Amino acid sequence: MIEHLNIQEFIKQSAKIPVIDVRTPAEFEHAHIPGAYNIPIFTNDERAQVGTAYKKQGKEQAVELGLKLVGSKLYDFVRQAKKIAKDKQLLVHCWRGGMRSASMAWLFQTAGLYVKTLEGGYKAYRRNVKSFFAQKFNLIVLGGMTGSGKTEILEQMEQMGEQIIDLEKIARHKGSAFGALGQEKQTSTEQFENNLFEVYKDLSLNKPVWIEDESQAIGYVRVPEELYVQIRNSPVIKLNIPKKERIKFLLEEYGRFEPEQLKISVLKIKKRLGGLKTQQALEAIETGDLETVVDISLDYYDKAYNYGISKREAAQVFEIELSEINARFNSEKIIEFYKALSIKDLKNNFVESS
């Protein structure tokens, strides 16, 4: 008999047992459980045909059509499943935990595999993701103007044993108009949330989690509303680093890209820069004067960041002066600075990092 797991047990067992998603390629491509394999029982077109038959002719006719469509593919399904299975074990799910997962689980079990399915299917997984981000987290927000090296500091902090969430890495975007340069194609917002959950679920809720001060939109994806509200209401440690140091850092980061790529990025913020500043930036790209391009761009981004930070509760913003961008040195200074702050100052019952 096939065992049906609730979402918590399914997630727990998925750490050791491979997950098979039997939804269509289109459903899987839009968003899926991270690490899952796709063995679609129907192609995108076949799924549409079965759905139409169900609406127009009823369940019995739809089932018959489904059997006709998949009959010739059963051997291939089993062959794929056996390659993926670990110790002959598999977890299987579809959209709602209905006929697709039940049928495929029966097939795999008949072929000698040990199969468990997810109660409620992928839909239950998504409800769990949404409810997870509604929990209260002990967030410490790492703030500071563009080019402060916050991502590198987070990476260094992680190596030092701190809990971090790198939103930009998970989003495959660095947030600004230049943020897509050198990055992989972004996923859907739904997949971004799934990937974020995959990282977040293993962190301790009793210890601080360092996270960068981001806008809700990071490129084309959006931070879950429940989490974003917490980011906006959590204590911020704001890095104050001289503009000349930030310009130098951004030149190293973006100076390697082609002039046309930089022009496209500048044009994305044309309305914000204004016609004159935009033209000056484009001309500077033509002449290779990238320092001027960065300087002009920072005028806009610094104003935008200062406006955003001004909307926070002043008592929740703690500023630290840093003279240069050095991830290791700055990480140590920031952690020392954080530990020197009292629990009362932070206005949250945070457990200090060990």
Please indicate, yes or no, if residue 172 is contained in any of the structural domains: yes
Q: In sequence order, which residues have a C-beta less than 8 Å from that of residue 224 and are 6 or more positions away?
A: 130, 133, 193, 196
Please indicate, yes or no, if residue 312 is contained in any of the structural domains: yes
Within the chain, where are the H helices?
7-13, 25-30, 44-57, 59-70, 74-84, 99-110, 121-132, 150-159, 167-171, 189-200, 225-232, 243-254, 259-268, 270-273, 275-287, 290-310, 327-340, 343-346
Tokens 């997950």 -> residue: 19
Q: How far apart, in whole angstroms, are the C-alpha atoms of residue 213 and residue 238?
A: 9
Please indicate, yes or no, if residue 263 is contained in any of the structural domains: yes
pLDDT of residue 94: 96
Regions of the chain short of the pLDDT cut 50: 347-354
Please indicate, yes or no, if residue 265 is contained in any of the structural domains: yes
Domain count, the chain: 2
Considering the domain architecture, whether residues 300 and 168 belong to the same structural domain is answered as yes
Catalogue the active-site residues: 94
Considering the domain architecture, whether residues 50 and 196 belong to the same structural domain is answered as no
Q: Which of 97, 88, 77 is nearest to 37 (CA)?
A: 77
pLDDT of residue 64: 67
Considering the domain architecture, whether residues 164 and 239 belong to the same structural domain is answered as yes
Count the Cβ atoms, other than its own, within 10 Å of residue 314.
7
The domain that contains 275 carries what CATH number? 3.40.50
Q: Does residue 317 contact residue 238 with C-beta atoms inside 8 Å?
A: yes
Q: Rounded to two decimals, what is the model's pTM?
A: 0.89
Supply the range of the domain harboring residue 15. Answer: 3-130
Considering the domain architecture, whether residues 157 and 306 belong to the same structural domain is answered as yes
User: Which DSSP category does 314 fall into?
Assistant: G
The domain that contains 76 carries what CATH number? 3.40.250.10
Count the Cβ atoms, other than its own, within 10 Å of residue 202.
9
